[in-house]
Amino acid sequence: MSPSIPLSGRLPAGQLPITTKNKRQFDIAVSAIAESRTTYPIIAVVDGLAGTGKSVAAYDHIIGLRERPHNGLRAGLLIEVPPGVTAREVARAIVSATGEKPRGRDPNRFSLKDDAVGAILINDIEYIIIDEADRLDEEAFEMVRTVFDESQCPVILVGLPPIRQVIRRKEKFESRVGFYLRFTPLDRDEVLHTILPKLEFPCWEYDPDNPEDYALGEYLLGKVGSSFRRLRNVLRLASIAANDLDNPTKITRDDIDEAVSYAQQNSNNADLQSAEPGLGSSGGRGDAEIKSEQRNAYKHDKRQGEGGQRDEL
């Protein structure tokens, strides 16, 4: 069985990683935490508001590691915690991330814990990054602590800010946490001078030294606030608008306004859908299918607005 890496932090095709302040601090922190393995291993916590780039930083960090020649694995593992995860599933995810298989047809959590510890030691794993760690419940936290204790492999928990309060109520777990890092909201100057020039979208052209581009960047930033995820989503929708014309044009304020309106409608619909029992915001569909539907709906709405007037999305 070949190991797999969660894809939630994967960048779109053609988009190179952007080294933001948060990303730089994350990479430095992970390196320092990994080195603790040879002295006093620790658990670390990386938190931040939704959309600040935590999952992207974690994914990019792992992908950036070289596969080691003696076992074909990277030094670090990345696992993602789904909603409602159990302690057994956490242990199984660690085993699977190394390419190993649990022993037995239906192993219990104690057997899976042993398998996880064994997979870490046999494959010389130096650290584990657990994304969406705020979803861990009491037993899952205990599984992480036990695997850490028995393997002495540093663990980095990545999640939303409430994870700190949860950990403070767990004395045994908190005593093992030796490092905290918080992802901060997007910095205005960093967005205008570092992020916007390096974002790759059709019809997006941005030069911070061009006064018109800089003004458009400020306008966009005023619309999306401090969320990296919202920034990317609005630009993606705006690029569809600009690229859908007979003569593709550079993204304008009108395209951004329509993208913001559509993104808000899409967010409201997702909230309604996720509130229904048994339904998630994606209904089990993949990102590509969802984005395709968004693109087609967006193009349909634009065609409806062509002619004498341009309807709002």
What CA–CA distance (Å, rounded) separates 278 from 273? Answer: 9
Interval 280-297: pLDDT, tens = 333 334 444 444 455 555
pTM: 0.79
pLDDT digit string, tens, across residues 211-229: 999 999 999 999 998 888 8
Model pLDDT for residues 73-121, shown as the tens digit of each residue: 999 999 999 999 999 999 999 999 999 988 877 788 899 999 999 999 9
How far is it, in rounded angstroms, from Cα 189 to Cα 55? 22
Q: What is the CB-side half-sphere exposure of residue 17 using CA atoms within 13 A?
A: 21
Residue of 126, 118, 120 whose CA lies nearest to 61: 126
pLDDT of 122 reads: 95
Give the Cβ contact number of residue 274 at 10 Å: 12
State yes or no: pLDDT of 62 exceeds 70.
Answer: yes
User: DSSP secondary structure string, 127-190?
Assistant: EEEEETGGG--HHHHHHHHHHHHHH---EEEEE-THHHHHHHT-HHHHTTEEEEEEEPPPPHHH
In whole angstroms, what is the distance from residue 281 CA to residue 3 CA? 27
Contact 55, 8 (CB under 8 A): yes
Amino acid letter at 35?
Answer: E
What is the greatest pairwise CA distance in the chain? 71
At residue 29, what is the residue type?
A: A
User: Exposed e or buried b for every residue in 233-267, given b needs 16+ CB within 10 A?
Assistant: bbbbbbbbbbbbeeeeeebeeebbbbbbebbeebe
Q: Output the six-digit token pair for 30.
A: 């992970």
Confidence at residue 267, expressed as pLDDT on a 0 to 100 scale: 56
Mean pLDDT value of segment 9-19: 76
